[in-house]
Amino acid sequence: MAHSQNTNVNVKFREASVDLLKDFLVNLNKTNKDNIKSLSKCSGNFKEKRLTEYIFLMTQELRLDTLAGYHAVELLQRFMVKHLTDLFATPTPQGAAADPPQKYEDAIFDKLKEKFPLIVFSCVQLASKLSLHSRIINNSTAVHFLDSVGYCVSKQTLLETELMILKGLEFKLNVPNPLTYVEILLEVLGHNEPSIPVEHLYDLCHHVLQFVSLERTIIYDALLKTTTQCVNPSREQREKFVTVTEDSMLLGVGIIAVAAFILYVGKWEQIVGELSHITGISKRSISDFSQVTMMHIVRSGSPIMTT
């Protein structure tokens, strides 16, 4: 597992006003619901373990803030879904009219395969420009870094790729990522229940979130089986479950609940109850997420338990 780098940023809780917290929470909730309503069949496909780990390792190597890594994952997912949808919606070129549809699709994927490493890197570079506390990766640094990993590219190509992503996302880059949800929820939790040590929870939440992001497929598959009480869920059940795997608010409360169980098991029920009150997500759903995640943390022998 990639280790999250230490950040020099000191996050201060309990300083935001009530009105500001309400606005943040309402906005996050709306964004989350809008995202769930507009999910595509490809949602989540570009968050698989190896790809996420590559992004985390890149942000670590480039000494970026942890937030940039999560933002890059979100940008990549959103761009690739939009890009593939547009490519397959484009009429088949006349020269390829005689070819079977499968061959045309293969040609698209072959061409995309060549560009993909640069697309991933450009998402990291864009994310670095969006983080207030992160180093900005300029094109000179980018070219040097890519060259060091055996990927020679010009500054012009970098600019073209960045512009392609910007256009594909319609310049809407400021999308919330999982860490944003965790931070806001912790802030609200600390305001509502001053006795809860959210500052200590925050550090552990980083480790838990990274673990869940990397083990996403296994954890959500186990959660699906727990929720449906079915060892072999049907295709229809799996398709419907995408609304759960892409629910950032559930992920946020789940991460905090797991961290609370590890650090303050005596206050766990109180914290889960408050998280349920804040978000409207049932205690049962939060509990199921926590139990499944804890089971996988213990089985994996992750150092999270001794963090």
Sign of CA dihedral 300, 262, 260, 9: negative
Q: Two tokens at 168?
A: 């594909």
Rg (CA), the chain: 21
User: Which of 3.30.70.20, 1.10.150.120, 1.10.472.10, 2.60.40.10 would CATH assign to domain 48-168?
Assistant: 1.10.472.10
The span from the CA of 215 to the CA of 56, in Å, is 13
What pLDDT is stored for residue 289 in this prediction?
97
What pLDDT is stored for residue 7 in this prediction?
44
| High-pLDDT (> 90) share of the chain, % | 55
Could you please report the per-residue DSSP string of 71-127?
Answer: HHHHHHHHHHHHHHHHHHHSPPPGGGTTS-HHHHHHHHHHHHHHHHHHHHHHHHHHH
Q: Which residues have C-beta within 8 Å of that of residue 112, sequence separation ≥ 6?
A: 83, 84, 87
Neighbours of 259 (CB within 10 A): 27
Question: Does the pLDDT value for residue 174 go beyond 70?
Answer: yes
State the average pLDDT over residues 179-205.
92
Instruction: Tell me the per-residue pLDDT of 140-151, one tens digit each, with 9 for 90 and over.
Output: 999 999 999 888
Residue type present at position 117: P
Q: Give the phi and the psi of residue 5 in degrees, each rounded to 5.
A: -75, 155
What pLDDT is stored for residue 3 in this prediction?
42
The span from the CA of 297 to the CA of 213, in Å, is 12
10 Å CB burial of residue 283 (0-12, 13-18, 19+) is middle
3-state secondary structure of 214: helix
Question: Does the pLDDT value for residue 1 go beyond 60?
Answer: no
Question: Does the pLDDT value for residue 94 go beyond 70?
Answer: no
Question: Does the pLDDT value for residue 199 go beyond 70?
Answer: yes
State the average pLDDT over residues 184-195.
92
Instruction: Tell me the per-residue pLDDT of 201-216, one tens digit each, with 9 for 90 and over.
Output: 999 999 999 999 999 9
Side-chain-side CA neighbours of residue 55 (13 Å): 33
- Cβ contact 123:76 at 8 Å: yes
pTM strictly above 0.95: no
What pLDDT is stored for residue 21 in this prediction?
86
The span from the CA of 262 to the CA of 240, in Å, is 31
State the average pLDDT over residues 117-122.
94
- Cβ contact 90:107 at 8 Å: no
What pLDDT is stored for residue 11 in this prediction?
67
The span from the CA of 155 to the CA of 167, in Å, is 18
Q: Two tokens at 138?
A: 């300029």
What pLDDT is stored for residue 111 in this prediction?
78
- Mean pLDDT, the chain, whole residue set: 87
Instruction: Tell me the per-residue pLDDT of 241-297, one tens digit each, with 9 for 90 and over.
Output: 999 999 999 999 999 999 999 999 999 999 999 999 999 999 999 999 999 999 999
What pLDDT is stored for residue 250 in this prediction?
97
Q: Which residues have C-beta within 8 Å of that of residue 66, sequence separation ≥ 6?
A: 4, 5, 7, 59, 179, 206
> What ranges do the domains of the chain cover?
48-168, 178-306
Neighbours of 162 (CB within 10 A): 20
